[in-house]
Amino acid sequence: MALYAIGDLHLSLGSDKPMDVFGGAWVGYVDKLREGLSVIGPEDTTVLLGDLSWALDLNGAREDFAMIAAIPGRKIIVKGNHDYWWTTATKFYRFCEENGFPDLYLLNNNCYFYNGIALTGTRGWFFEEDAPDGSHNDKIFKRELLRLEASLRAAGDTPEKLCFLHYPPRYRGYECPEILALLERYGVKECCYGHLHGSSHRLAIEGVHHGVTYRLCAADYTNFAPIRLR
């Protein structure tokens, strides 16, 4: 029984937008993912940190989710900025039922539990989402804060809380103080995030900050293998 995390699979099995075109580590990335994900067993839980499929809707994402559903065990999904297929939970679970995709769960205004540990999270926020004048899109930003706090509150008095975001809440030269404050207020022990690729890896901030351990789990950073957290 193990807990894993990985983000940014960027699958494109049902369309023509493979990441191989970027070269480098992305060449042959689907085969690398299949090999890396093969360590996961049926009793395990894997948190997927967004940007899973390039598809624009669920029908277009069918082949990508077939691959994701084939990962053994429970799969918990966080929304990424490129997950255009994302829809309501009702539509997503109907899609999974109709296509025989078991054990897929959305992490959105809620939380899940693994061996007494609360698994919380949301998409998050990043400076890329700021308006040209440097201001936030307040409506979307405040919604993300509400979603994160709803998830953290759903954990109740669980002593150990982990948080899973797509966007990094800390980045060299940038912080999102509102998200960092929520993580610290609710006693989050560890925060995993994705989104950063290629040359941006060197700008990622990992390690302990104000009692929270931060970890980058983007697929091309982890050599297309999930990170075992527990």
What string of DSSP letters covers 95-157?
A: HHHHHT--SEEE-SS--EEETTEEEEEE----GGGS-TTS---HHHHHHHHHHHHHHHHHTTT
pLDDT (0 to 100) of residue 170: 92
pLDDT (0 to 100) of residue 115: 97
Predicted TM-score (pTM) above 0.85: yes
pLDDT (0 to 100) of residue 173: 84
pLDDT (0 to 100) of residue 24: 81
pLDDT (0 to 100) of residue 15: 80
Distance CA 146, CA 207 (A): 26
pLDDT 10s digit of each residue in the chain, 230 long?
999 999 999 999 988 777 876 678 899 999 999 999 999 999 999 999 999 999 999 999 999 999 999 999 999 999 999 999 999 999 999 999 999 999 999 999 999 999 999 999 999 987 666 666 656 687 888 999 999 999 999 999 999 999 999 999 998 888 999 999 999 999 999 999 999 999 889 989 999 999 999 999 999 999 999 999 99
Which residue is listed with tokens 């998050």? Answer: 124
pLDDT (0 to 100) of residue 23: 73
Task: Tell me which amino acid residue 162 is.
Answer: L
At 206 the three-state DSSP class reads coil
pLDDT (0 to 100) of residue 130: 61
Phi, psi of 22 (to 5 degrees): -85, -10
pLDDT (0 to 100) of residue 131: 62
Phi, psi of 177 (to 5 degrees): -60, -30
Phi, psi of 227 (to 5 degrees): -90, 125
pLDDT (0 to 100) of residue 139: 83
The pLDDT tens digits of the residues spanning 134-185 come to: 566 878 889 999 999 999 999 999 999 999 999 999 988 889 999 999 999 9
Residue 219 in contact with residue 28, Cβ under 8 Å? no
pLDDT (0 to 100) of residue 174: 87
pLDDT (0 to 100) of residue 127: 65
Residue 76 in contact with residue 112, Cβ under 8 Å? yes
Tokens coding 135: 């201001």
pLDDT (0 to 100) of residue 102: 93
